[in-house]
Amino acid sequence: MGMTTDMAGLTNRHHGTLPTRARARVWCVASAWGLFLVALCVPAAPLPAKALLVETEGSGIITKTTPAATNANGAMVWNGQQWIVNNTWAHKFFVDDLGTGDRLKPHNVQIVNSSGTFMNYQVTRSSYQYTTGRRGGGRFRYGAVEYLILDMVTGKSVLLRSRGSGNGTAQPYFNIYIEDDVTSGVQQQTTALRGDPVWYTYVATTAQEAAQITDAQSGRTGEMPAATDTGLVPCSAVSGCRTGYFLDVNNGSDMGGKSYHFHTESITSGVEDLGSSFPVDCDIEWMDAQGDLQELRFFPEVIGEGVFFDTRAAPALGTGASLLTVALLACYGMWRLRRGRIGGTRSETTAYLASAGVSSGT
């Protein structure tokens, strides 16, 4: 019987028959390998995509005279030949939808108050003097700071000229001159935002040339009369947005292009023929080659304010009176300096006082 059993076992092995327990082990191993091979062949389910939302920001009224158009979102867009104003355009930006509501790309802000090279831009800070009419009679003499900002990629410039409002060195504002990014074959032009601000377009004119134009009607295109809050306001339940005016190029900075962004504030002006709402800052924003958002921010600065009256109709008073006038100007300049009516760097202050025939001392 033992021989029979052994022979039977040998016979079973030759025919490939395994005991029940061994067959179970083989089946488990084969099944595992089969499942593994199936997993390799079937593509994995994709991870949930990061959801993005597009929101808008900006505030203020823009009116264009020809063709007549209005935008209540504080935004207009450049089409290569002119600024387009309609009732739908708004400055856009991305936020995520994963619970935080954070802005997808924050702005890297750099406040600029000196000359230098800042990424794609060459900035030149300088001072200049001007006179303007005073409400109630006489004229203001101002020393103020200006920034000439050259885009080293496009060769276009932006000129920001600080202006006084009749409040000493306090409450200055900007006149803004932008050389537009015209397409090839289109004549160069400059967009000017002066005073309240009123919007002007000057054809075949650089920013620096446009700054010399004072005519109130020539080139007048529209206006931006509304004051805008300078802070953040709720844009949705989970995100904030910025107020102010946006001039968007190539769909705006947050969408891969460029934007000029500024706020306006109500100012009680002592200067004649001015309104009541003025640009109190100006940003140049753009997306760089790495996809990061860059922003250069500028603020206006008045160096000094003086008042003088036109005495051409008065009788000639002789040399003694002229010396007295200079002496009074000197006293007035020193008094303004002590009362915070004169600011800027020392060289800018000296230049301003010199323009009035006053020595600032050493």
Give the pLDDT confidence score for residue 291 in this predicted structure: 94
Give the pLDDT confidence score for residue 53 in this predicted structure: 85
Give the pLDDT confidence score for residue 349 in this predicted structure: 59
Give the pLDDT confidence score for residue 146 in this predicted structure: 98
* Separation of alpha carbons 163 and 142, rounded Å: 8
Tens of pLDDT, residues 99-140? 666 788 889 999 999 999 999 999 999 999 999 999 989 999
Give the pLDDT confidence score for residue 220 in this predicted structure: 97
Give the pLDDT confidence score for residue 282 in this predicted structure: 95
Residues of the chain with pLDDT under 70: 1-51, 97-101, 229-241, 310-362
Give the pLDDT confidence score for residue 224 in this predicted structure: 93
The tokens of 101 are what? Answer: 């509501």
pTM of the predicted model as reported, rounded to 2 decimal places: 0.75
Give the pLDDT confidence score for residue 237 in this predicted structure: 33
